[in-house]
Amino acid sequence: QSALTQPASVSGSPGQSITISCTGTSSDIGNFKYVSWYQQHPGKVPKLMIYNVSDRPSGVSNRFSGSKSGSTASLTISGLQAEDEADYYCNSFATSRTWVFGGGTKLTVL
């Protein structure tokens, strides 16, 4: 099971929107609706932001949204805020019945 592919870094200015992509294969993202996104600030544990491709846990801002097309999932953050600066990881269920993470994307708010 190879790791999902994410850009190493993305950046945006406050108020802008950014999108982080997560590319997998037909063995994971392309075959299941079980894609999640996690936010991790330095020194903190990961926080679940999106599950089932586009569902948001209660308490997560509606500025965060998820989608999927084929074998690529995406996390979009609108109205970028300084507090959004963090690492973001995607995760998908796979045909091997295990899960696979992306390599992570560092979001910088300029």
Partner 1 sequence: EVQLVESGGGLVQPGGSLRLSCSASGFTFSNYAMHWVRQAPGKGLEYVSAISRDGDKTYYPDSLKGRFTISRDNSKNTLYLQMSSLRGDDTALYYCVPQKDLGRWGDYWGQGTLVTVYS
Q: Enumerate binding residues for partner 1 (CB under 8 A).
A: 1, 3, 33-34, 36, 38, 40, 45-48, 51-52, 55, 57, 87, 89, 91, 93, 96-104
- Distance in Å, CB of 8 to partner 1, minimum: 10
Report the residue number, 26 or 96, with the smaller CB distance to partner 1: 96
65 φ, ψ (degrees, to nearest 5): -140, 155
Classify 101 as helix, strand or coil: strand
What is the DSSP track for 14-62? Answer: TT--EEEEEE--TTTGGG-S-EEEEEE-TTS--EEEEBTTTB--TTS-T
Nearer to partner 1, 71 or 87 (CB): 87
DSSP code of residue 2: P
Tell me how far, at minimum, the Cβ of 40 lies from partner 1, in Å.
8
CB-nearer residue toward partner 1: 26 or 52: 52
Phi, psi of 83, rounded to the nearest 5 degrees: -70, -10
Which residue's CB is nearer to partner 1, number 38 or number 79?
Answer: 38
Smallest distance, partner 1 to C-beta of residue 19, A:
19
Q: How far is the CB of 87 from partner 1 (least distance, A)?
A: 8
